[in-house]
Amino acid sequence: MSPNAAPRRPFPLSPRWRVVLTIAAAGVVAWLALDAPLAMLVPQEGGWRIVRAFFARALTPALDYESDVPADTPPILWQALAAARRTLVFAVAAMSVALAGGIVLGFLSTTTWWATELAGGAGPVRRALARTIGPAAWSVARVVIVVMRSVHELLWAVLFLAAFGLNTAGAVAAIAMPYAGTLAKIFSEMVEEAPRDAAYALRDAGAGPLQVFCFGLVPRALPDLCAYAFYRFECAVRSAAVLGFFGFPTLGYAIAQSFENLHYGEVWTYLYALVLLVVAIELWSGALRRRFVA
C-alpha cells in the first residue's frame, strides 16, 4: 500500500453509524414487541377525573388534614417533617452500611492492588498475589457484586419482609445490599480509570504497593468517588421514601395512605416534603464538593 492512499473501509458503514443504527433499531423492535401504542398514555374518562383532581391540588397542598383525625394527632406539617426525618434516618443508616461494603468490595474488585505494574518489582509474595490470590479474590468480589446489584432494593425488601416481617433492620439492609454492590462497581471502575502518574511517581520514590494504591491512586479518583457517593445518597433517600409503600414509616407510607383516601392535597404536602429533602441534600453536597473536591 502506498503511504499516500487512505486505508479503505472494510464495510460500507462506518463503525459509528453501525452503533447509532443498532441502538435505533433496538428501540423500534422493543416498541413493536410490546405492542404499546403511545395513545395508551392518554387516560380514559374516569382516569381524567382522577388526574384533574390530583393536579388541581398541586399548587394548594393541604395545610391541614382533609378528614377528621383523632384529637391528639400532630398537625400535618409536623407529620410531614417527622416522616421526612425518618426517611433521612433510613437513608443515612443504609448508606453507612453500603459505603463500608462498597469500599471493601470495591477495593477487592480492582486489579490495581495486586497487579505487579504498580508494585515496582516482584518477590515471591507479590508473584503469588498477582498469579493466584489477587485474581481469585477479584473474581469472588465481582460475583458477589453482580448478585447484590442484579436484585433491586424493592425486591430485596419483599424478600426481607417475607423473612423477617416488618422490620426496620430489614428495610435498611434491603437498601444497603444493592447500593453496596453499585458503589463497589463504580468505585472500582473509577480507581482503575484514575490517572496513574502520581501512583508511578510514588512507586519510583520507593513507596510500597499498598502506599501507592492508597496515596497515589485513590486520591486521584477521590473527587469522583465523593461526587458519586453523594449521588447515591440522594438515591437512597428516594428509595427509603418508596419503602414506605411496604409499611415502613417513611414519607412513602404517608403518601400511600393519603392517596388511598383520595386526599390529594395531603399527597402533595408529603411530595413537597420529599422534594425539599432531596433539594436540601443536593445543596449541602454541592457546597461540600465545592469546598473539598471540585
Site residues, other proteins (CB under 8 A) = 119-123, 126, 197-198, 200-208, 210-211, 214-216, 219-220, 222-223, 293
The DSSP call for residue 180 is H
- Report the Cα 115 to chain-centroid distance in Å: 29
Shorter beta-carbon distance to other proteins: residue 71 or 125: 125
Q: Is the dihedral of CA 206, 212, 214, 215 positive or negative?
A: positive
Q: Rounded CA gap, 225 and 210, in Å? A: 19
| CA neighbor of 183 nearest in space, from 254, 252, 98 | 98
Least distance between other proteins and beta carbon 249 (Å):
39
Least distance between other proteins and beta carbon 122 (Å):
6
Task: Show the cell assigned to 121.
Answer: 518489582
Least distance between other proteins and beta carbon 77 (Å):
42
Residue for cell digits 413537597?
A: 272
Shorter beta-carbon distance to other proteins: residue 47 or 208: 208
Least distance between other proteins and beta carbon 126 (Å):
7
Least distance between other proteins and beta carbon 120 (Å):
7
Shorter beta-carbon distance to other proteins: residue 213 or 233: 213
Least distance between other proteins and beta carbon 222 (Å):
6
Shorter beta-carbon distance to other proteins: residue 75 or 208: 208
Q: Rounded CA gap, 283 and 274, in Å? A: 14
Residue for cell digits 473527587?
A: 223
Secondary structure class of 145 (helix, strand, coil):
helix
Least distance between other proteins and beta carbon 137 (Å):
19
Amino acid letter for position 75: P
- Report the Cα 180 to chain-centroid distance in Å: 9
Torsion, Cα 88 90 96 100, to 10 degrees, reads -140
Count of beta carbons in the 10 Å neighbourhood of residue 186: 18
The DSSP call for residue 69 is -
Shorter beta-carbon distance to other proteins: residue 213 or 270: 213
| CA neighbor of 235 nearest in space, from 81, 107, 143, 98 | 98
Number of residues assigned to the chain: 294
Count of beta carbons in the 10 Å neighbourhood of residue 151: 15
Task: Show the cell assigned to 157.
Answer: 425488601
Shorter beta-carbon distance to other proteins: residue 122 or 235: 122
Least distance between other proteins and beta carbon 183 (Å):
20
Shorter beta-carbon distance to other proteins: residue 54 or 200: 200
Shorter beta-carbon distance to other proteins: residue 37 or 206: 206
